Amino acid sequence: MKKSGLILTALIGLAAASGVLAAVPQTAKPAAAALSVRYEELSSPDFVQAVARSGGTCIVPLGILEKHGPHLPLGTDLIDCREVSLRAAAADYAVVFPPYFVGQIFEAKHQPGTIAYGSRMMFDILQQTCDELARNGFKKIVLVNGHGGNDAFLHFFCQSQLEARHDYVVYLFEPSEDEATKAKLDKMRKTAVDGHAGEEETSVMLAHHPGLVRLDRAGAESGEDQKRQAGLTNAYTGIWWYAGQPNHYRGDGSAGNAEFGRALIEAETAALVEMVRSVKKDTVTAELQKKFFDDAAKPLETKPFVRK
Ligand SMILES: [Zn+2]
């Protein structure tokens, strides 16, 4: 799957190059250009074809702008989840939405470079993005989250799709690893504590954008859990992450290596390809959603399921 992704990327590159040369008179008819998987690269007429070819499936990779330890770029989550999304879309055609960096990141407001939009705005922008994609024919929207701080928000966002009737479905990518993949990755892993700009994220960036990694700086700050709320039991507070990881760094990026990164990207891409294929085939969710809203409009008429 990784190979076919690279081949398609190469084809897109060639198509772009042939566009540049279009002014040169040619006797042979140019071959039809491949449809880009990148939303922003499609022409308006090609967009119509892309919607059809994707089965109305658009992938929205969600990143954020936040510190990633002292050694990784602010857009790490954005760059990483786009890489996986682009590879998956190339393997099984889907359109990938342009870079999207609006999400929940209040916990890093004390660090340079964080862009933390308000909670209502982040909800509205995502809802309106989905509405606009659906108005343009994408009835299956796949959210690929690259940022841990978005987890609760995106689950709430999915639950909120039941607030009002939609003619589209929002799917959230939730990868799981099979036993063999898990064992392979565990064998390659060198550190026990990870979670933000640690071994995994550093490895992934080393695998596909090594020039953006300053590995020599990875040990300049502590990625250890400071356990500053250790006295609190059976309780959750919004400050929990800052309490443990005030440097917005969890783990040790020095342990990162490109080989581990490639394995992580391949595993996640394979899981996403599998998900996109199941989403494209899925008709049940849209039917259930419709039935649910029909019932919700007349709850007194809702028929119970009887025991078989
Ligand atoms: Zn993040």
Range of the domain at 54: 35-285
Q: Has residue 231 been placed in a domain?
A: yes
Q: Which of 2-11, 72-81, 87-96, 188-197 has the lowest mean pLDDT?
A: 2-11
Higher model confidence: residue 115 or residue 25? Answer: 115
Q: Has residue 253 been placed in a domain?
A: yes
Q: How far is the CA of 147 from the centre of ligand 1 (A)?
A: 4
SS3 38: strand
Q: How far is the CA of 281 from the centre of ligand 1 (A)?
A: 31
Q: How far is the CA of 103 from the centre of ligand 1 (A)?
A: 10
Q: How far is the CA of 12 from the centre of ligand 1 (A)?
A: 30
Q: How far is the CA of 104 from the centre of ligand 1 (A)?
A: 9
Q: Has residue 293 been placed in a domain?
A: no
Q: How far is the CA of 203 from the centre of ligand 1 (A)?
A: 15
* Residue 161 near residue 127 (C-beta atoms within 8 A): no
Q: Has residue 69 been placed in a domain?
A: yes
pLDDT of residue 26: 46
Q: Has residue 235 been placed in a domain?
A: yes
Both tokens assigned to 19? 């566009």
Question: For residue 198, which of 179, 178, 213, 182 has the smallest C-alpha distance?
Answer: 213
Integer angstrom CA distances of residue 218 from 72, 204, 234, 254: 8, 14, 33, 5
Provide the percentage of residues in the chain whose pLDDT is more than 90.
88
Neighbours of 48 (CB within 10 A): 13
**In whole numbers, what is the pLDDT of the chain averaged over residues?**
91
Confidence of residue 33 (pLDDT cuts 50, 70, 90): low
Confidence of residue 250 (pLDDT cuts 50, 70, 90): very high
Q: Has residue 27 been placed in a domain?
A: no
Alpha carbon 306 to its chain centroid, in Å, reads 40
Q: How far is the CA of 304 from the centre of ligand 1 (A)?
A: 43
- The CATH number that applies at residue 116 is 3.40.50.10310
Q: Give the tens place of pLDDT for each residue, 199-225.
A: 999 999 999 999 999 999 999 999 999
Q: How far is the CA of 195 from the centre of ligand 1 (A)?
A: 9
Confidence of residue 37 (pLDDT cuts 50, 70, 90): very high
Q: How far apart are CA 207 and CA 79, in angstroms?
A: 12
Q: How far is the CA of 90 from the centre of ligand 1 (A)?
A: 25
- Neighbouring residues of 241: CB distance < 8 A, sequence distance ≥ 6: 107, 149
* Residue 226 near residue 210 (C-beta atoms within 8 A): no
β-strand pairing of 140-145 with 169-172: parallel
Q: How far is the CA of 252 from the centre of ligand 1 (A)?
A: 15
Q: Has residue 299 been placed in a domain?
A: no
Both tokens assigned to 205? 């960036």
pLDDT of residue 177: 86
Q: How far is the CA of 13 from the centre of ligand 1 (A)?
A: 30
Q: Is the pLDDT of residue 25 over 90?
A: no
Q: How far is the CA of 256 from the centre of ligand 1 (A)?
A: 17
Neighbours of 149 (CB within 10 A): 19
Q: How far is the CA of 166 from the centre of ligand 1 (A)?
A: 29
- Neighbouring residues of 249: CB distance < 8 A, sequence distance ≥ 6: 67, 68, 69, 70, 196, 197, 198, 221, 222, 223
Confidence of residue 158 (pLDDT cuts 50, 70, 90): very high
Question: How many domains is the chain built from?
Answer: 1
Q: How far is the CA of 77 from the centre of ligand 1 (A)?
A: 6
Q: Has residue 214 been placed in a domain?
A: yes
Q: How far is the CA of 211 from the centre of ligand 1 (A)?
A: 20
